């Protein structure tokens, strides 16, 4: 447990204009595809958080020359599909599940053996959902008991394309199989039970790979090559989500979040908040590097509880901790179902959020696949984030409506996705202090 704490005074409002850090999903993928491309890829808006830096360092260890990041700018000298080299030791991916799951697919088709490790949290997260389908393609990956990391990937495997119906919606599983498919003979197809974020498909197309979609099925054929391109990473909607909730619940707020990615596979948080009565406008909509972006203006509004529509759940899976805070401030009851995946994130987000809300006097009942929250008031108190960055930032926003001070323990991991969170929050009106 880290000793970094957030201490928040109650009340306040959020106003002004800010740009939150770059999208984590797109930052990861820009390094991966830029490294495999032929030519030089220039990335701007790159998220300089620990997770995406773990991906960047992994490719440096495999012989890719990467300059930066300098103020979000990264230059990647691609080595081509066959140019990665044997690293001098295991690749340590820290806390990043995205890095581990996507790299397990990308590295399954290399000629060398490689071991993927991570911190204690990452080593406790399930990897079988990617290693099992990769094995069907011919990958040779050994895991610890229960399908956990470290993962030992044997080089020289001959991969074959498969047609894989995913048992549960997961962008990381889909992406891992598509990246392995680049190295496989024939066509690799993945069928999703529900739509998930499509950053991998969009970026592969940007690098010149023919990716086809037929209904819920995504396919590509192996054996091609990637051509370097420029990538402008939009601001991360998952990071914007805390401010969307904060400005919605704090009376008198009027906040604009600039250049936010509004990929339709990620806008569940906007859709759900609007259904609860939030006042969110999309301004200056445009396209940036194949991804739709807009400025989001959010003003305070009275929220009411809802039953969260099942089809929105995969489109907001990372934003639920923030949405639970919105539910606690809403009038009436909010019910979430169909979100089992929240239990295997950086923490068990259903249980940890329920515990924290209860500590602040909110009636929150966790269920196997969701939660039932009775809206009303939020009190002061102490909560622990269990080292989960999204939990820490969500409870920080709760202070805007709390009746007393809130202390949040174990906040070091906020740097994995949102370096500078407390400074930016303070700039727009949150009463937050960092204590060591």
Which residues are identified as catalytic?
A: 318
| C-alpha to C-alpha distance for 180 and 191, rounded to whole angstroms | 15
Are residues 426 and 400 in contact, defined by beta-carbon separation less than 8 angstroms?
no
Are residues 234 and 291 in contact, defined by beta-carbon separation less than 8 angstroms?
yes
| C-alpha to C-alpha distance for 337 and 383, rounded to whole angstroms | 24
| C-alpha to C-alpha distance for 253 and 429, rounded to whole angstroms | 9
Are residues 138 and 185 in contact, defined by beta-carbon separation less than 8 angstroms?
no
Pairing mode, strands 91-92 and 114-117: parallel
| C-alpha to C-alpha distance for 153 and 176, rounded to whole angstroms | 14
With H, G, I as helix, E, B as strand and everything else as coil, classify residue 21.
coil
Q: Compute φ and ψ for 204, nearest 5 degrees.
A: -55, -45
Q: Which residues contact 123 (CB under 8 A, 6 or more apart)?
A: 117, 144, 148, 149, 150
Cα 19 to its chain centre, rounded Å, is 17
**Percent of the chain as helix, strand, coil, to the nearest 5:** 35, 30, 35
């Amino acid at each position: 447990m880290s000793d970094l704490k957030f201490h928040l005074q109650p009340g306040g409002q959020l106003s002004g204009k800010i740009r939150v850090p770059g999208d984590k999903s797109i930052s990861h993928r820009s390094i991966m595809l830029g490294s495999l491309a032929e030519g030089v890829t220039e990335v701007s808006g790159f998220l300089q958080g620990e997770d995406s830096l773990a991906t960047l360092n992994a490719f440096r260890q495999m012989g890719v020359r990467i300059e930066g990041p300098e103020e979000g700018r990264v230059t990647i000298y691609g080595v081509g599909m066959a140019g990665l080299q044997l690293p001098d030791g295991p690749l340590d991916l820290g806390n990043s599940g995205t890095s581990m799951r996507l790299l397990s697919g990308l590295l399954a088709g290399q000629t060398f053996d490689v071991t993927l490790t991570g911190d204690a949290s990452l080593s406790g997260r399930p990897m079988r959902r990617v290693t099992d389908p990769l094995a069907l393609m011919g990958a040779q990956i050994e895991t610890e008991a229960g399908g956990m990391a470290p993962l030992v990937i044997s080089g020289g495997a001959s991969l074959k394309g498969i047609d894989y119906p995913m048992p549960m919606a997961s962008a990381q599983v889909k992406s891992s199989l598509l990246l392995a498919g680049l190295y496989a003979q024939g066509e690799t197809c993945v069928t999703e039970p529900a739509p998930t974020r499509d950053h991998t498909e969009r970026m592969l197309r940007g690098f010149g790979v023919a990716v086809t979609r037929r209904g819920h099925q995504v396919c590509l054929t192996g054996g091609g090559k990637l051509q370097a391109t420029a990538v402008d990473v939009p601001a991360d909607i998952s990071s914007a989500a805390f401010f969307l909730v904060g400005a919605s619940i704090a009376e008198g707020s009027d906040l604009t979040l600039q250049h936010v990615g509004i990929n339709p596979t990620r806008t569940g948080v906007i859709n759900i908040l609007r259904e609860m009565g939030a006042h969110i406008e999309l301004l200056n909509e445009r396209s940036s590097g194949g991804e739709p972006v807009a400025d989001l203006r959010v003003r305070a509004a009275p929220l009411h509880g809802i039953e969260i529509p099942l089809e929105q759940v995969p489109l907001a899976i990372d934003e639920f901790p923030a949405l639970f805070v919105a539910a606690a401030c809403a009038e009436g009851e909010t019910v979430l179902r169909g979100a089992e995946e929240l239990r295997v994130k950086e923490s068990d987000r259903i249980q940890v959020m329920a515990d924290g809300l209860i500590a602040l006097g909110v009636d929150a009942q966790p269920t196997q696949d969701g939660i039932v929250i009775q809206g009303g008031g939020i009190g002061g108190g102490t909560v622990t984030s269990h080292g989960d960055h999204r939990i820490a930032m969500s409870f920080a926003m709760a202070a805007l409506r709390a009746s007393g001070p809130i202390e949040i323990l174990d906040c070091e991991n906020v740097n994995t996705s949102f370096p500078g969170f407390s400074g930016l929050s303070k700039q727009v009106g949150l009463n937050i202090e960092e204590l060591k």
